[in-house]
Structure 1
Amino acid sequence: MPQLIAPDVRFHASFLGAMKEFLDEGSDPNAVLAHEVEEFGGSWQEPDVFAAYVARQHAESLEDGPRPEGWVPNTNLWYVDGDTYLGRLAIRHRLTPFLLELGGHVGYAVRPSARRRGHAGAMLRDSLPYARRLGIDSVLVTCDIDNHASRRVIEANGGVLEDERGLRRRYWIRTGL
């Protein structure tokens, strides 16, 4: 059964397969993996580099952890089924003005071969208790206005539309029961 877990080196091969899928479909890897591509992307194949990447994923949750200037701590989680990496999710611990406007607390991506199977909805649902433990009562989740799949995922998880800003829809989801 798929589950959210902390990043782990045992998913190395499957993670690399997922990154190849994103590239093959023409996805912008920076949209999927943000700053990680710049630092690790060209060398992920090397076990030591991948281990350093996984360690960095864990360290980003720390208040004084490594991350680009202006970024907030975030909890990185991978969605896996057995030994298969299906996607990733990040919970930002607080909102900056930019995140309040466009980015939100939660961002997620599902590898292309695993889409349309309910994984995004399950990932978002399963992330809410993590956010609650971080002291976040309601998470802000955003999506592009024309991304109907993300809109359905957010609304199915209790997302309440606050507004549209530019090309983004902004939803709030309560983390409590």
Structure 2
Amino acid sequence: MNLVWPSHEFLPGYVAALERGWSPNNLRPVARQEELDLIHADPDAFLASLVDREALGPPVRMPDGSTVPKLPGYRRWIWDGEFCGSIGLRWQHGTNELPAYCLGHIGYGVVPWKNGRGHATAALRELLRDAAAEGLRYVEITTSPDNIASQRVIDANGGVLVEQFVKLPSLGGTPELRFRIALA
């Protein structure tokens, strides 16, 4: 398993996953079709939008349809010879804090046909090095209480449960668990 930067070389695998019904955004499944539309309209602009360390891109659409300012960050693709999923890192310059509308520093998803192979665990381990290089002292990652697989991924990477909370209404208003991983 490798983390690759989104590029034309890997784009057909990403498109195929979207066309099979996978969405890179578990809070907004409609993001799947939105991304397909963006790719078909301008693949270069779509790829460029996935790496935005200065948060120059457009606002982010929330599950309730509202928008919030984009944070600095990027997405990497999980690759094992074919597309397996994506993992993203977001932060605010000069602080470890995140705004209330952002559930965590890292979000990830593996396509269902690649689940159970350790890809998410390995991808998170690799991205933690990137987070440290960005100057973060720790990362926070959230997951639903019933997502045992994600909790195992976080635990395998040193995650410690910090709190159980209820997400903002704009994010669905459902229970969530927040984990913290200290970075060396």
Q: Same fold (TM over 0.5)?
A: yes
Q: Distance in 2 between matches of 1:88 and 1:79?
A: 5
Give the Å deviation of 1:112.
1.4
**Residue 107 (str. 1) matches residue 107 (str. 2):** yes
Cα RMSD for the two superposed structures: 2.2
Residue type matched to 2:140 in 1?
L
Whether 2:163 is the aligned partner of 1:140: answer: no
More helix per residue: 1
Please say if residues 159 and 171 of structure 1, whose CA atoms lie closer than 8 Å, have aligned partners that are also in contact: yes
- Return closer, same or farther for 1:72/1:35 CA change in 2, 3 Å cut-off: farther
Which one of the candidate residues 88, 91, 102 is aligned to 1:90? Answer: 88
Tell me, in whole angstroms, the C-alpha distance in 2 between the residues paired with 1:151 and 1:128. Answer: 16
Aligned-residue offset at 1:38: 6.5
State the match for 1:153 in structure 2: 153
Over 3 Å counting, the alpha-carbon distance change for 1:141 and 1:29 in structure 2 is: closer
- Offset, 1:150: 0.5
Look up the equivalent residue of 2:100 and give its one-letter code.
P
Q: Could you say what secondary structure the match of 1:67 adopts?
A: coil
Is 1:51 the counterpart of 2:44? The answer is yes
Deviation at 1:71, TM superposition (A): 2.2
Equivalent residue, structure 2, for 1:162: 162
Secondary structure class of the residue paired with 1:10? coil
Question: Structure 1 30/150 Cα, relative in aligned 2: closer, same or farther at 3 Å?
Answer: closer
Aligned length: 163
Question: 2:160 and 2:111 mapped to 1: Cα distance?
Answer: 26
- Whether the 8 Å contact between 1:75 and 1:93 is mirrored in structure 2 is no
Identity score, percent: 31
Instruction: Please tell me the residue identity of whatever aligns with 1:145.
Output: P
Q: In 1, distance between residues paired with 2:85 and 2:179?
A: 21
Decide whether aligned partners of structure 1 residues 119 and 137 sit closer, same or farther in structure 2, where only a CA change above 3 A counts.
Answer: same
Aligned residues of 1:61 and 1:76 also touching (Cα < 8 A): no
The aligned counterpart of 1:41 is 36
Question: Does residue 172 in structure 1 map to residue 180 in structure 2?
Answer: yes
Matched to 1:91, the amino acid is: L
TM-score (norm 2): 0.79
Partner of 1:98, secondary structure, is coil
What is the alpha-carbon distance in structure 2 between the residues aligned to residue 71 and residue 17 of structure 1? 27
Instruction: Give 3-state SS (helix, strand or coil) of 2:10's partner.
Output: helix
| Structure 2: segments with no counterpart, 5+ residues | 60-67, 93-97, 167-174
CA–CA distance in structure 1, aligned partners of residues 138 and 156 of structure 2:
15
Q: 146-155 or 30-39: which moved more?
A: 30-39
Residue 30 and residue 119 in structure 1: after superposition, are their counterparts in 2 closer, same or farther (change >3 A)? closer
Counterpart position of 1:16: 15
Secondary structure of the structure 1 residue equivalent to 2:19? helix
The question of whether the paired residues in 1 share the 8 Å contact of 2:6 and 2:77 is answered with: yes
Q: Report the TM-score when normalising by structure 1.
A: 0.82
